[in-house]
Structure 1
Amino acid sequence: MDKDSEEFYGRLKEELLKSTEWPSTYLYKFIVPSQTDKMDQIEAIFDNTGAVIETKKSKTGKYTSLSITVHLDSPDEVIKKYMEVGHIEGVISL
C-alpha cells in the first residue's frame, strides 16, 4: 500500500471510530463498468456476509452503481473490504 492510501485509510478509520458505534451497519457505494465479471467480483467479496446489494444502471447502460449494506464489527473490516474491491480495475469507490 502506498503512503497516500495509508494516510487515507488511517483518516477513514479515525472518522469511523469517532462517528460510529461498533458493530454497525455500513453502506458502501461503488460505480463499475456494466460488465458482469466486475459486478460478480464485487459480489464475491461480500459473499456470505449477509450484505444487501442493490444495483442501478446508468441512463446509457455503460455503468452500474452498487449500494452494498452490510453489518460489520469494526472500522478495520470496512477498510479491508475497500482494499479488496480496490484491486478490481475500473471500480470507483464513493
Structure 2
Amino acid sequence: MDSNNSDEFYKKLKDQLADTSVWPAKYMYKFIVPSIPEKTDSISTIFDGLGAIIEHKVSSKGTYTSVSIKVTMSSPEAVIEKYKEVGKIEGVISL
C-alpha cells in the first residue's frame, strides 16, 4: 500500500473507530503471518505490557499462523499506531 492509500485507509479507520466505540475500548486485532517464530514473537512483543490476550493458530499445512490479539486500547489513534508497528514486520497481513 502506498503512502497516500495508507493515509486514507488509516483516516477512514480512525473515523469509524471513533464513531462506533467509546474509548478506552476492547479491540481485537487479527494478523496472518508466515509460521516463523521470530515473526510471531515480534507481533507479541509489540503488545507486551498491555494485558493483551494473544492466541496463535497454525494453518493445517503449517505454512501460516493466525495471530488474534484482544486488548483494551485507549483511543483510535492507539489502535492505528499498533497496526503501523505490526505493519513493519515483513510478510504480515492485517485482517
Q: TM bucket by the smaller chain?
A: over 0.9
CA RMSD of aligned residues (A): 0.9
**Structure 1 Cα separation of the partners of residues 94 and 57 of structure 2:** 15
Match of 2:53 in 1: 52
Percent identity (aligned)? 55
**Structure 1 Cα separation of the partners of residues 49 and 82 of structure 2:** 13
**Structure 2 Cα separation of the partners of residues 89 and 76 of structure 1:** 22
Matched residue SS, 2:55: strand
Match of 1:67 in 2: 68
Q: How many residues align?
A: 94
TM-score by length of 1: 0.98
Match of 1:41 in 2: 42
Instruction: Kindly provide the CA deviation profile for residues 7-26 of structure 1, in whole angstroms up to 9, marking residues without a partner as x.
Output: 00000000000111111000
TM-score by length of 2: 0.97
- What stretches of structure 2 of length at least 5 have no aligned partner? none
* Matched AA of 2:71: V
